[in-house]
Amino acid sequence: MPVLAPDAESETGIPKSPSEARRSEAMEELEHTCPQPRLTLTAPAPFADETSCQCQAPHEKLTIAQARLGTPADRPVRVYADGIFDLFHSGHARALMQAKTLFPNSYLLVGVCSDDLTHKFKGFTVMNETERYEALRHCRYVDEVIRDAPWTLTPEFLEKHKIDFVAHDDIPYSSAGSDDVYKHIKEAGMFVPTQRTEGISTSDIITRIVRDYDVYARRNLQRGYTAKQLNVSFINEKKYRFQNQVDKMKEKVKNVEEKSKEFVYKVEEKSHDLIQKWEEKSREFIGNFLELFGPDGAWKQMFQERSGRMLQAFSPRQSPSSSPTRGRSPSRSPSPPWVFTKASPPSSPKAASASLSSMSEGDEDEK
């Protein structure tokens, strides 16, 4: 039965053993001083040699399940992701985003290999190491950048940077004489896979540039780069410059065609408006003309009124039989039948024939 310290008790009230008591006292003395994840994005991520983890508290080995539950609570989970990151693109950023969000509280360290190491094991890069370092520092998901990262991770490197897990896509990465450089990391239970972004990679971008080399060479010659800077021969330089002149002429012709089409369109639009206005005016003129000179127009009514007045002036109505003038001249003999009185002209041929027949009947009666 071991001797217990008199005041050493566990959280559950059960007395601790001397070794547990000493360990808890050491843990209380050594608090975690690990760098915390960046909360604001007003500055680029620091380099590891500028702000390395100087925490003296022991880093217990964690399982993935424990880290996903948010433990330990007193420090972030330190996740490491490495690569070349040449021509930094959205595929790189997406992989780092996945590594950053693997656990509730994670601190993402990104290792970038140097030019010498990359050229030795992979090949020539477009961007140099300084440019690649700076590209990673300005990614929002990165908390710390490790320059001149090793090609194969060693236990000493993992211990130095207090790395809990390594994040990378799960495809076996054969390099440096190994079928998979992350094999020992996977066996140690420290590997966390991420998903690759299909359709985008550094090799795809370089392939596009090589495929459209003539286009980019012509564009840069036009922007002021020399043939020597572009590694273009004398003949190709003249060919590219001639093609640029041809393209300029084509662009001018295209602009003239577009302007002429725009002018024709404006003329058509104006002519359409003029024709529409002319049609409206012509309809208005015809309507006014018909109102004046049509079958039921104002001119006909005015003419009928004037003709009626003229007929009344030429043939006034007879005085009635009871008028005083008739009473004062009773001795006046009636007019002979052959004397015709002035009457208004018949309004129609039927009326004229009726009047003639009445006159003939009157003659017969007189006989």
Pair 178, 155: CB distance under 8 Å:
no
* pLDDT tens per residue across span 126-175: 999 999 999 999 999 999 999 999 999 999 999 999 999 999 999 888 87
Say what the pLDDT of residue 316 is.
Answer: 62
| Domain presence at residue 359 | no
Pair 79, 117: CB distance under 8 Å:
no
Helices (H), the chain: 18-29, 64-68, 90-100, 115-121, 129-137, 155-160, 183-187, 202-211, 213-222, 234-293, 298-314, 324-328, 349-366
- Looking at the fold, whether 97 and 165 belong to one and the same domain comes out as yes
Last residue of a domain, one of 199, 217, 242: 199
- Looking at the fold, whether 80 and 184 belong to one and the same domain comes out as yes
pLDDT at residue 94 greater than cutoff 70: yes
Largest CA distance in the chain: 181
| Domain presence at residue 348 | no
What is the rounded CA–CA span in Å between residue 144 and residue 80? 10
pLDDT at residue 103 greater than cutoff 70: yes
Last residue of a domain, one of 199, 234, 260: 199
What is the rounded CA–CA span in Å between residue 228 and residue 120? 27
Pair 111, 79: CB distance under 8 Å:
no
Q: Which residues contact 353 (CB under 8 A, 6 or more apart)?
A: none
Say what the pLDDT of residue 358 is.
Answer: 54
- Looking at the fold, whether 137 and 208 belong to one and the same domain comes out as no
| Domain presence at residue 343 | no
pLDDT band for position 1 (50/70/90)?
A: very low
User: Omega of the bond prior to 72 within 30 degrees of 0, cis?
Assistant: yes
- Looking at the fold, whether 195 and 210 belong to one and the same domain comes out as no
- Looking at the fold, whether 181 and 219 belong to one and the same domain comes out as no
Number of CB atoms found within 10 A of residue 226's CB: 10
**Mean pLDDT, the chain, as a whole number?**
79
Give percent of the chain above pLDDT 70.
Answer: 74
Of the candidates 24, 25, 26, 8, the one whose C-alpha atom is nearest the C-alpha of residue 16 is 8
Say what the pLDDT of residue 17 is.
Answer: 55
Pair 232, 206: CB distance under 8 Å:
no
- Looking at the fold, whether 194 and 109 belong to one and the same domain comes out as yes
- Looking at the fold, whether 191 and 70 belong to one and the same domain comes out as yes
| Domain presence at residue 327 | no
| Domain presence at residue 362 | no
CA distances to 240, 281, 301 from 286, in Å? 68, 9, 19
Say what the pLDDT of residue 4 is.
Answer: 39
pLDDT at residue 47 greater than cutoff 60: yes
* pLDDT tens per residue across span 183-195: 999 999 999 999 9
Say what the pLDDT of residue 203 is.
Answer: 92
- Looking at the fold, whether 171 and 193 belong to one and the same domain comes out as yes
Segment (H or E) for 112: strand 106-112
Structure tokens at 342: 């002035």
What is the rounded CA–CA span in Å between residue 260 and residue 249? 16
pLDDT at residue 323 greater than cutoff 60: no
- Looking at the fold, whether 233 and 264 belong to one and the same domain comes out as yes
What SS3 string covers 122-156?
Answer: CCCCCCCHHHHHHHHHCCCCCCEEEECCCCCCCHH
> Which range of residues forms the domain containing residue 274?
203-299
- Looking at the fold, whether 102 and 157 belong to one and the same domain comes out as yes
| Domain presence at residue 59 | no
pLDDT band for position 367 (50/70/90)?
A: very low
The mean per-residue pLDDT over the stretch 288-305 comes to 74
The mean per-residue pLDDT over the stretch 292-305 comes to 73
The mean per-residue pLDDT over the stretch 196-209 comes to 92
What is the rounded CA–CA span in Å between residue 101 and residue 85? 19
Pair 272, 266: CB distance under 8 Å:
no
Residue 205's Cβ-count burial label (10 Å; 0-12, 13-18, 19+) is middle
CATH of the domain at 164: 3.40.50.620
- Looking at the fold, whether 182 and 239 belong to one and the same domain comes out as no
| Domain presence at residue 330 | no
Say what the pLDDT of residue 95 is.
Answer: 96
- Looking at the fold, whether 241 and 183 belong to one and the same domain comes out as no
Last residue of a domain, one of 299, 317, 341: 299
Cα 118 to chain centroid, rounded: 40
pLDDT at residue 322 greater than cutoff 70: no
| Domain presence at residue 28 | no
What is the rounded CA–CA span in Å between residue 350 and residue 357? 11
Of the listed ranges 126-135, 230-239, 323-332, the least confidently predicted one is 323-332
Say what the pLDDT of residue 222 is.
Answer: 87
- Token pair 């564009």 is found at 219
What is the rounded CA–CA span in Å between residue 74 and residue 31? 8
pLDDT at residue 224 greater than cutoff 70: yes
pLDDT at residue 71 greater than cutoff 50: yes
Q: Which residues contact 148 (CB under 8 A, 6 or more apart)?
A: 112, 113, 114, 117, 129
Pair 197, 90: CB distance under 8 Å:
yes
pLDDT band for position 72 (50/70/90)?
A: confident
Say what the pLDDT of residue 318 is.
Answer: 60
The mean per-residue pLDDT over the stretch 67-71 comes to 85
| Count of the separate structural domains present in the chain | 2
